[in-house]
Amino acid sequence: MTSHRLKFAIFGNVFQPKKSASITRLLTCLSQNGAEVSMDSAFYDFIQRSGCSAQGVARVFDDGDFDADFVISMGGDGTFLKAAARVGTKQIPIVGVNMGRLGFLADVTPCDIEACIKALHTGEFTIEDRGALTVEADGWEPSGPSCALNDVAILKRDDASMISISAEINGECLTTYQADGLIVSTPTGSTAYSLSNGGPIIVPGTPVFAITAVAPHSLNTRPIVISDDSVVRLCVESRSHNFLIAIDGRSEKCAESVSITLRKAPYKVRIVKRPGASYFDTLREKMMWGADGRE
């Protein structure tokens, strides 16, 4: 049982008006437990416009101007990724309340909010540390966070032909991919974009990254798994002379003269897990792992 007043910072999806009423339930529960609550300004404005009460919110913040014992992300996995990027090096544990569809990262249902908040106050939870990727580039700076919990993807522009991506691992040539793109994913992101392109499922906590091509020109191009201590350097050639780089889905245009270096981030993303939570249960439930639909 915690002996001090817990502080919470809340982030949320601003595109789910029908589901935003769950915030009232959360705020009521936090108030009943004597918590100190702050909220991201974009989500605060959204719930105000939606007619939901923001009673109990003591402070509204922008960017990284917050401090808390726990961060609560209300939305789907995309909202969780955005919250993780905002938390960054603060390494505040994140609770994901799933108001989306899949819920790999955000695995607390709205009806479990009270039980989850109680567990945080009684200490009946565990924290999983997840590795992230950091992006460095010569002659380019991302407009947002430069770290990815899921993946970093190098992609062709919509109206462009396939691109050539030269890949080096620790200074040694791997290959040149002729493809629509290339995904470098963490174990956390292995069940996301990488999986949809034929990449392997990797259990979180495994110290590796996966490299998976997007629509490769050659059928013998296969995903490869490398140590997360590796440094990956990527150089792109394109007929349009530019390409897209997507950091956890946030895509920006880059000139082909830009070389990208990826390496393990110097911090972990900390995810709150309740007792009994199992990654393999999640695989079976969310992805129908091993399900047989035959009568």
Say whether 77 is catalytic.
yes
Q: In 3D, which of 60, 48, 59, 58 has the Cα closest to residue 23? A: 48
Written as six digits, the tokens of 82 are 């955005």
CA 219 to chain centre: 30
> What DSSP state is assigned to residue 210?
E
| 259-264/269-273 β-pairing | unpaired
Q: Distance of CA 100 to CAs 54, 78, 84, 97, 107, Å?
A: 21, 9, 17, 9, 10
CB atoms within 10 A of CB 226: 16
Written as six digits, the tokens of 262 are 């990826």
Tally of helices (H runs) and strands (E runs) in the chain: 6, 19
Residue 232: what are its φ and ψ, rounded to 5°?
Answer: -105, 125
Asked whether 181 and 199 are in contact (CB, 8 A), the reply is no
Set 77, 107, 180, 248: catalytic member: 77
Residue 247: what are its φ and ψ, rounded to 5°?
Answer: -105, 105
Which H helix or E strand runs over 200? none
Asked whether 263 and 231 are in contact (CB, 8 A), the reply is yes
Active site amino acids: 77
